[in-house]
Structure 1
Amino acid sequence: MNRRRFLILTACAAALPRAGLAATDEWRSRAMGADVTLRLQGASAVQARAFFAEAARVLAHVESLFSLHRASDLQRLNRIGGLRFPADGMIELLALSDRLHRITGGVFDPTIQPLWLARAGGTDESRAVTGWQGVSWSDREVSLARPGMALTFNGIAQGWAADQLAAAAARHDLTDLLIDTGEVRALGSHGWRAELADARGRVHQRLILSARALATSSPSATRIGPRQMPHIMAHDDRPPLWDTISVSAPQAALADGLSTALCLMTPEEAVRAMAQLPECRIELQIPAGVPG
């Protein structure tokens, strides 16, 4: 499994009851290795069809930028170490990754892709080819400083996809929608039910999600390689300290990246990071090794 974090969110299975609204329209697909579900409340049939058609185009675009398993801009960047005239989406995700790298004291680092591949393949891990300082970009070119460097956006791209779908919904004048790309973003003020669960599917908390995004990371939910190591890893080899972290934020990409990094951060580091993001909240925090 190519995702560095695993969402266990038995979330938002149904909208809260709302008098006078039409039944929920539902659309399903896949992108970036995750199931995608859109639940649209109170829209006309014409609106729903038009939006779902655009959603398919949006997800295809996300794959063309960030997939690690089919032809994409990211795959080309990793193969040759450079990318000329990057798309706006690539620049946006690089900039957000840089922000999260600084906020988390360097813990969020997309250059761990070579470590992930080594761990998955059971080979020696070399940290000589990691380090966010080795990535440079402008609107003309993205460059990786050393041979063997490679990036993964699997800790943030699913959230970014949810945000792109939210923008598409706004273009269609849709205001009541649940987007689940592996990360969840809810539009509308009425609220959607959500359940937060750990890596074993045990529900720990219930909440109402309204005009907000939610992401959950569980390092032990997916283990990789012959040593069955957690799929969320740090460039400095620190182990995951949390079984499960759930974060809510105004944007799904921000919640996604934070939940990934916070799994590797001490409580003190987490406090410092979250102080820089007052609009974000940790909704669920389960220490590693705590029995359910």
Structure 2
Amino acid sequence: MSLSLRPAMERRRILLGGLGALAALATGPAAFRALAEHRGRRAATRAGLAFGTTVSLTLVAERDDAFEPAFRDAFAAIRAVEAAGSLYRPDSALSRLNRDGRLDAPDPLVLAMLRFALTLAERSGGAFDPTVQPLWTLWSDGAARGERPGPQARAEAVSRVGWRHVAVDETGIRFARAGMCLTLNGLIQGFAADRVMAALAAHGIADAFVDTGEFAAAGAHADGTPWRLGLGAHGDRPSEVIAPFAGFAATSGDDATAFSPDRRDHHIFDPATGLSPTALSRVTVTAPSGLLADGLSTAAFVMGEAAGAALVRLYSGCAARFTVKL
């Protein structure tokens, strides 16, 4: 599960502007612009900061005045998800739960994410566990000291991990063990993509490409060509391209935050051992929802290729791509 409080990918360290602050017509080769104009379609891109990284939305519409209200509500949806479950915000509902060990009258968005997380924890045999935040604290603190946590320190942190010890109902969320902490970083960006796409659909935007740290797409470019999604990196080029791309996609990889030069130790942890899985370097899942894609990619990374693929097959419309660590 992704626990990093740092930007999810190095490429996202270049910030393009604050939420709602940057709007510009998308540009491209003259031929593609001409095709778009011939079809009576326009494209606009807006970018901002969320989840400790950059996010961007590209929308296609027939009128320029359709963009602003769609962007406004889409970024409002992102801010609402952040306020509910982001560890980057000390005032979020999740941060308050971790601080106090309980959360009364929880935000419905927190409940939606946590209930999904606990269901996935059960179905994955605990490979996906939203209570692994103590492991992130252990490893990040160790990295700051230039140390690798030893067996005793890992065992102590693992003793505070366990999804079965989270009580959830409409009245509140409570931890049954002292020292527990939750993270929703393994699914929150995918959930945000779901909320953004719903906000855009409410404004009649049928063609869009969304990057919240995970990806979503519907329809096509303004020129009528399909969306394409590049995966991984091989030099200056993606190692694989999904084309056409529609729906949702999420990737879990060992390159987001590494605690060792060889990426043996990184931000994705096996909740049972406190160590990082070593078989895979990347898992990408495509799915009918961002929440499902994001959560499954994390679970499958921990489980390994065979068991992870079996888990993904339990969900209709989902597929996984595995990259074995060399």
Is the shorter-chain TM-score for this pair beyond 0.5, marking a shared fold?
yes
Q: Which residue of 1 aligns with 2:305?
A: 267
Per-residue deviation, 1:5: 6.5
The higher-RCO structure (CA 8 Å, 6+ apart) is 1
SS in 1 for 2:137: helix
Residue 266 (structure 1) shift: 2.6
Partner Cα separation in structure 1 for residue 267 and residue 229 of structure 2: 25
Q: Which residue of 1 aligns with 2:280?
A: 242
Give matches, 1:140-289, under 5 Å: 140-188=171-219, 191-198=226-233, 203-224=238-259, 229-237=265-273, 239-240=276-277, 241-282=279-320, 284-288=321-325
Change (3 A) 1:154 1:121: same
- TM-aligned CA deviation for residue 14 of structure 1: 8.0
Q: Give CA deviations for 1:75-103 in whole Å, capped at 9, x if unaligned.
A: 00001111011111111101211222123
Q: Secondary structure at the match of 1:264?
A: helix
Distance 1:8 1:272, change over 3 A: farther
Q: Which of the residues 52, 55, 69 maps onto 2:74?
A: 55
Q: Equivalences for 1:94-105 in 2 at 5 Å? A: 94-105=114-125
Aligned residues: 285
Aligned residue for 2:272, secondary structure, equals coil
**Structure 1: gaps (5+ residues):** none
Partner of 2:5: 2
Counterparts in 2 of 1:226 and 1:216: CA distance versus 1, 3 Å: closer
Q: Aligned partners of 1:199 and 1:127: how far apart in 2?
A: 36
| RMSD value, Cα | 2.7
Over the matched positions of the two proteins, sequence identity in percent amounts to 31
Q: Greater CA radius of gyration, 1 or 2?
A: 2
Q: 1:60 to 1:80 in 2, by over 3 A?
A: same
Alpha-carbon distance, 1:198 to partner: 4.6
In the superposition, the TM-score normalised over structure 1's length comes to: 0.88
| 3-state secondary structure, aligned to 1:192 | coil
Note the C-alpha offset of 1:45.
1.8
Cα offsets for 1:146-185 (capped at 9, x unmatched)? 1110001111000101100011011111100111001001
From 27, 34, 40, the equivalent of 2:46 is 27
d(CA) in 1 for partners of 2:10 and 2:298? Answer: 10
CA distance in 2, matches of 1:4, 1:97: 22
Alignment of 1:5-154 (within 5 A): 20-70=39-89, 71-122=91-142, 124-125=153-154, 126-154=157-185
Residues 209, 250 of structure 1: CA spacing in aligned structure 2 closer, same or farther, 3 A cutoff? farther
* Cα distance in structure 1, aligned partners of 2:101 and 2:234: 35
Q: Shift in Å at residue 197 of structure 1?
A: 1.3
Change (3 A) 1:6 1:253: farther
The structure 1 segments of at least 4 consecutive aligned residues displaced by more than 4 Å after TM superposition are 3-9, 13-19, 198-202, 225-228
Given that residues 249 and 279 in structure 1 are in contact (C-alpha distance below 8 angstroms), is that contact kept between their aligned partners in structure 2?
Answer: yes
